[in-house]
Amino acid sequence: MDLSDTTPPKSVENSPLPCRAAFSRIAAVPAKFRPVIGILSLLAIPALYAAMLVYLARKRDARGIGISILFFALTFATGFWSITQSRSSTAGIGFIFLPLMATVGGFFGLAFGRWRTSHEPARKALGWLALGAAVFVLFLNVREGFATRVRNQGRDDKYAAHAAAIARNQKSISASLEQNRGREGAFLDSSIRANRNDRTFLIAALPNDSISPALLDTLANHPDRGIASISVGNPGTRAETLSRVYGQKNFPDYFYQTLAAHRNSPPEVLRGIHRNPGVMSNLDIWLAGNPSTPRDVLQLIAKKTTDRSVVARMLENPALDCGLVSELGTALLRRLKSGGSDPNVVRMTELLPKLCPSGKPA
């Protein structure tokens, strides 16, 4: 070898390795097929397990098959039970991995059934270790299921205590307001300031419409976004406060629902929410029922909506006029001609003579 040769070696990246070609083919798989490939990969091992049992059965070598199927069934059943104890919206993902988990139990059962009577000490030991592993999987499933039930009960108890505290505070506030007729606002403001860190008291007090706008403005910035949301939704919250909340980026998008329904929301805020609702969906139902929603926004909603609930809310909007009800009527007619039905037809029939006395849109 010539040690004086200083030519750098070919980089691994540029070398024609078979693995690079394989990874390139994987990367070339369209993104829409990758979840399907992932699920098929999870089913490959269960399919291999089933094929092995069929193979052994056809060879008339049934040793361990019954025990294997038993552990497969027990693992599947305990895993299914454990998953169904959860109330999480993502708990269903566990069902994707359930066949694989049951297959692991089945393989352990098969190893135990075939090797537990082996004359080879090593195989016999492995067979009993497999039994221990299979039982351990069952134990984990059962333990997790009961742990989930304990967590659920703890959350239920905590929620019940929280709701009871809110109810007690509501009752106490109502009694105090009766004793402070004529000075409800002053009483509520002082009570809220004194209990600023008591979440249950704030939840009970904040829906009252006697709270001063200045205090609501302050509470709209409360670090507890639940408290801030109730403050923003109070009917006494000023337009300036609502505009500030809409303009601040540190408020989550779910505040848009409160702003869309609030009668004090400025027109530019409502237009902005309609134009860009963020991650929120179906805000049209709140905009449609808000008498402060600009007419141009109501007209856009009336033209495009196919949601019966949105139509029903707009029909009860005090800002509804002949032109808007005619737009809604056109949408309803299209649905009726396509063979659908809509309970809003009766309400629209009642409103048409009142809003369009001349029979023509304004």
> Does the structure show a pLDDT above 50 at 13?
no
Predicted confidence band of residue 52 (pLDDT cuts 50, 70, 90): very high
Q: Is the pLDDT of residue 15 over 60?
A: no
Is pLDDT of 332 > 80? no
Residue 202 has pLDDT above 90, yes or no: yes
**In sequence order, what E strands does the chain have?**
none
pLDDT at 292: 97
- CB 242 within 8 Å of CB 269: yes
| Distance between first and last Cα of the chain | 96
Distance CA 67, CA 186 (A): 75
Is the pLDDT higher at 215 or at 351? 215
pLDDT at 340: 62
Would you state the pLDDT for residue 281?
86
Q: What is the pLDDT of residue 6?
A: 44
Q: How far is CA 142 from each of CA 78, 85, 135, rounded to the nearest angstrom?
A: 6, 11, 11
What is the pLDDT, as a whole number, of residue 326? 87
**Which of the residue ranges 35-39, 52-56, 221-225, 280-284 would you say has the lowest mean pLDDT?**
35-39
**Is the pLDDT confidence value at 12 over 80?**
no
Least confidently predicted of 13-17, 35-39, 189-193, 299-303? 13-17
Cα-only R_g, the chain? 33
What 203-206 contacts at long range (C-beta under 8 Å, 24+ apart), as own/partner pairs, is: 203/166, 203/169, 203/227, 203/230, 204/166, 204/167, 204/169, 204/170, 204/173, 205/169, 205/173, 206/230, 206/231, 206/234
Out of 16-20, 145-149, 260-264, which region has the weakest mean confidence (pLDDT)?
Answer: 16-20
**What pLDDT digit, counting tens, does each position of 236-245 carry?**
999 999 999 9
Check pLDDT > 80 for residue 205. Answer: yes
In tens, the pLDDT along 288-307 reads 999 999 999 999 999 888 88
What pLDDT is stored for residue 25 in this prediction?
52
Q: How far is residue 303's CA from residue 330's CA, in Å, rounded to a whole number?
A: 8
Whether residue 325 contacts residue 288, with contact meaning beta carbons closer than 8 Å, is answered with no
134 pLDDT exceeds 90? Answer: yes
Structure tokens given for 177: 């307001």
pLDDT, the chain, mean: 88
pLDDT beyond 80 at 234: yes
With b for 16 or more beta-carbon neighbours within 10 A and e for fewer, the 29-68 pattern comes to eeeeeeeeeeeeeeeeebeebeeebeebeeeeeeebbebb
